[in-house]
Structure 1
Amino acid sequence: MQWGLLGPAALAGERRTRTLGIGRAVRRFNELAVPGTGGVWFGKQVFLAILGVRVAELARDARMPVGNIECANAIEALACWLGYNESKWAPHPRLRGINTLPREHALDFRTLRRPGFYVSQPTRMAVGQSLMPLGLADGRSRRFNSLATTEAGRNLIALACGDSGRHDIVTQLLNWVLGKSVTWPPRFVKLLSPCVPLTVAARGLLHSQFILGSEKEDGTHKDRRRAAMRWVDDLRSHPPSGPLGWEDRPAAIVDDAHWKDLQAGAQLMACRAQAIVVLDELERKLALFPKETLRVEEAAGILGGELADLKVAADRYLSFSHPDADAMAFGRECALPSTSDRLEHLLRRDDRVLRLVAREVKSGPAFRRAMRNDNASDPALSADPEDAGVSDGIIDWPANLSFRVRNLYVLNRDLLEEPNAMRNETTNQILVDAQL
């Protein structure tokens, strides 16, 4: 289980997401767990994002009107296309768009910059919020289009690309953006492909930036990220012999408030997971009723066990007395004495898959009738690109631990270990890729 904004799969015309009104709370708890890392889980993600910002800057200097977002998205689409083409279109967890990118197509910037050519949630969206805290970019805000590269960001590009010169990758990409004729020799394919790790020097610089952060970053945020990095590095050096539990507080997490935030966030996600169980089960039941209508009191009676488990999970979260107002309101609604009141509040928070109309449960625009024959919950998809987690396949983490800690463990290995050590392992297996 991860801290993400999870919801069932996409349907034509309607996106099935169930944030339940706590999306901002989830992001705040993730930031409290490991500040400034967004959804980063391997170094090439960061390189491609800052490379997109740099090329956009140079293009604007050459009087080419292009935003950071469309430039970075196009470069990522190009990198994934080249990576797929190199591997003869074999799936890879670091590549996106296998079902959207055409096998044969012109690779000009004008085509790749178009909305809809690539995926709707590129990895750039998961990285953008990390560039300022890591000191790789600066700007008026963390909004990607407002970012400008810093000296550290430009150094990362230089170290990742090796020798510069007239035919370096930045110049090649700039010419590509400007509409000039370019080719993509094997050296450039390797530099861009997400499947190929960064150079040792670039990985060293990036690792340092995760430790040092930006001069403008809050000191408490740096301390928490450093503590989390010490934790995952201790686990890398000394893998545990069994599952980790919440009673096993790591020595690296010395701040009591940090540890409490990790625990409270995990319990909030346990509560949210049980709320999803309630709604999924109700969706299955509703599909069996005539006219797909059910009185809320009757539905609460059918889901008595699930709603009782929801109250238990909510009470556990409330026991932390965490000050997050959105999460506290959600927990109180899930802990109401009346089962029908609990369900009523959940339905009002959903209102996409299931709706409450005059005390009756009805199907919403994203209702899935196939649920009637499905005994499993819908696959969990990330509604927020920053909340895309990975499964390391090695560590059995404490229940519901923030996905950012899991990602940091994978990232730490990517930055510190030799590339061959990362090959053919389950470390880079994405749990769910919404685009696939």
Structure 2
Amino acid sequence: MPWGILAPDTVVSQRRQQNLGLAAAVRHFNDRAVPGIGGMWFPMPILWSVLAISIAEELGVPALPVGNAVEARVMLEVIAGPQDRRVRGARKMQGLKDSSFHNLRRRGTYVVQPIRMAMVQPLVALGFVQGSRYGAFRIHSAGRELLELNAMKEPRRLLGAWAHGRQPHGLKEALTVLSPVGAVPEAVRKLILARLLDGNDPGSTRRRALARLGTGPSSAHLDQETALAGLAPDHWSDLRAGAAFMDLRDAALSVLDQLEQHLLKLRDDNQPVRLSEAEAAEVAAEPLKQLRDLATAKGALVDQGNEETSRRFIAEIRNLSDQQLIQRLAARDSTVIFQCEGRIVLGPAAGELRGSSETQDENRPPQDEAFAPQLFRLHNLHCLVTELSGKVNPGSRDAG
């Protein structure tokens, strides 16, 4: 994930949340592809959040700062070790001496984007909590079942004592059990796996069908009309629509990238850093053509997804002139490229590296070509199910 001029764990850059006003469509297609898992790709954060929410209930305080504190505390035990995608806060908490609950719950002590932010959807969807906002979550049936497992009782007792201001004997050992780079206890693994795959609801059905594939679907698979064995036709249609939409979004970003690079060169050459709409359409002629060709080839797939935001986006690509489309893309962006008084100019975030509005790149597993990269949850689910089955999480194999 890109960041501004401060330390990466301190502030999130304006850029590159370059979502073109399409965030609702991105969420829709990701959730139709792999329902209910948010940004989760390894299971340990479920444990941290359930423990934190239970402690927050005991203390009678909102769960959000408790969630931050618990996550920060487990990270403190491992940030001095090898680099790992599951670890956050190494820069932010470097040299931190005060590991008390009171200190770690304070705003600004831990990272701006903790892992718990990716856990809101799975905590609710898998039945571990009730509520719509992390700060107001309450333990639900699966959460109570988790806390009653023998493997969780001692960590809950010791973290509870820590939250009350004590430093109980055995806390270090409990934190080892909860380590982001450690193995989830077997009974806990089995419970989470059951909640993920064994239900009769539509979300469980889709997750279970994907898990049974073992690998895939890949981008090549999703170019085919015929569904892979075991996947329902409506699920296949949603997967294809989602991949097609993400391709179109990326092609639109390529148009803006072309304009940005041209304007940055003008700036470097001490030339006026602006383009008329006609000039911009000429500069971006090739990526514009590629965008329109892609809309012709895949627009019908996106339409079949029956999602309003994406259908409006497709209509703009199909119906607007080149100059109008440049104008519309600039209006959708306004972070890297925007329109000012009829001119196309650089936005405040121009020149920065792009990140992802969906998940932090430095903390997400490396892609595997066996899984369509347009829908990152496909590989995330594979990583999650693999670890919950007692094997090495493939997303962590390059750690260190």
State the Cα distance separating 1:229 from its structure 2 match: 2.4
Q: Give TM-score scaled by structure 1 length.
A: 0.81
Give the CA RMSD over aligned residues: 2.6
> Residues 314 and 398 of structure 1: is their aligned pair in 2 closer, same or farther, counting only changes over 3 Å?
same
- Structure 1: give runs of 5+ residues left out of the alignment: 1-7, 61-65, 372-377, 431-436
Q: Which of 74, 78, 81 pairs up with 1:79?
A: 74
1:267 paired residue number: 244
1:218-271 residue CA offsets vs partner (Å, 9 max, x unmatched)? 93233222222222xx33xxx99x985323732121x21110110011011001
Structure 2 alignment gaps of length 5 or more? 6-10
1:366 is the counterpart of 2:349: yes
Q: Secondary structure at the match of 2:344?
A: strand
For the residues of structure 2 that align with 1:108 and 1:392, how far apart are their CA atoms? 37
Q: Secondary structure at the match of 2:241?
A: helix
Residue 14 of structure 2 corresponds to 15
C-alpha contact (below 8 Å) 2:259/2:284 kept by paired residues = yes
Correspondence for 1:225: 207
Q: Following TM superposition, by how much is the alpha carbon of 1:277 offset from its aligned partner in structure 2, in angstroms?
A: 1.3
The 2-side partners of 1:201 and 1:182 are apart by: 25
Contact 2:14 2:349 survives alignment (8 Å): yes
384-393 or 149-158, which deviates more = 384-393
Classify the secondary structure of the residue corresponding to 2:265: coil
Aligned to 1:362, the other structure's residue is in SS state strand
Q: Aligned equivalents of 2:315 and 2:323: distance in 1?
A: 14
1:63 corresponding residue in structure 2: none
Give the corresponding residue for 1:137.
Answer: 129
**Structure 1 pair 57–26 and aligned structure 2 pair: CA distance change class (3 A):** same
Q: Which moved more, 1:257-266 or 1:333-342?
A: 333-342
Q: How does 1:258-297 map to 2 (within 5 A)?
A: 258-289=235-266, 290-297=271-278
Q: 1:114 to 1:429 in 2, by over 3 A?
A: farther
In the superposition, relative to structure 1, how do residues 160 and 259 fare at CA in structure 2: closer, same or farther (>3 Å)?
A: farther
CA positional deviation for 1:398: 3.5
The 1:383–1:263 alpha-carbon spacing in structure 2 relative to 1, beyond 3 Å, is closer
Matches within 5 A, 1:207-222: 207-213=193-199, 219-222=201-204
What does the per-residue CA deviation read over 1:184-219, in whole Å, with 9 as the maximum and x for residues that have no partner? Answer: 654223122111021111101110011235xxxx93
Deviations, residues 14-61 of structure 1 (Å, cap 9, x unaligned): 51120100101110111111111111111102111211111111122x
Equivalent position of 1:416 in the other structure: 389
Percentage identity across aligned positions? 28
Question: Is the partner of 2:59 in helix, strand or coil?
Answer: helix
Letter of the 2:57 counterpart? E
- Residue of structure 2 in register with 1:307 after alignment: 288
**Aligned partners of 2:53, 2:361: CA distance in 1, in Å?**
18
Partner SS, residue 382 of structure 1? coil
Does the aligned pair in 1 maintain the 2:92–2:109 contact within 8 Å? yes
**Deviation at residue 282 of structure 1 after TM alignment:** 1.0
Deviation at 1:381? 2.6
**Residue equivalent to 1:375:** none
- Give CA-to-partner distance per residue, 1:51-80, whole Å, 9 cap, x none: 1111111122xxxxx211110111001111
Establish whether residue 118 from structure 1 lines up as the match of residue 107 from structure 2: no
The answer as to 2:334 corresponding to 1:351 is yes
Note if contact 1:123-1:385 (Cα within 8 Å) is conserved in structure 2.
no
Q: Matched residue of 1:391: which SS?
A: coil
Q: Work out the CA distance in 2 between the residues paired with 1:181 and 1:189.
A: 12
Match among 88, 93, 114 for residue 96 of structure 1? 88
Structure 2 equivalent of residue 174 of structure 1: 160
Letter in 1 for 2:176: K
Q: Is the 8 A contact 1:137 1:149 kept in 2?
A: yes
Structure 2: which amino acid aligns with 1:408?
A: L
What's the TM-score once normalised by structure 2's chain length? 0.88
Contact 1:49 1:128 in 2 (8 A): no
AA at the equivalent of 1:128: V
Match of 1:193 in 2: 179
Residue type of the alignment partner of 1:106: D
Select the residue among 119, 130, 140 that pairs with 1:127. 119
Return the alpha-carbon distance in structure 1 between the equivalents of residues 206 and 219 of structure 2: 23
Residues of 2 paired with 1:387 and 1:148: CA distance? 30
Q: Distance in 2 between matches of 1:288 and 1:410?
A: 42
Q: What is the aligned residue count?
A: 384
Distance (Å, rounded) in 1 between the aligned partners of 2:85 and 2:359: 18
Q: Note if contact 2:355-2:361 (Cα within 8 Å) is conserved in structure 1.
A: no
The 3 A distance-change label for structure 1 pair 313 and 428 is farther
2:295–2:317 CA contact under 8 A, matched in 1: yes
Structure 1 residue 313: deviation in Å? Answer: 2.0
Cα gap change, 1:22 to 1:429, in 2 (>3 Å): farther
Q: CA deviation at 1:365?
A: 1.8
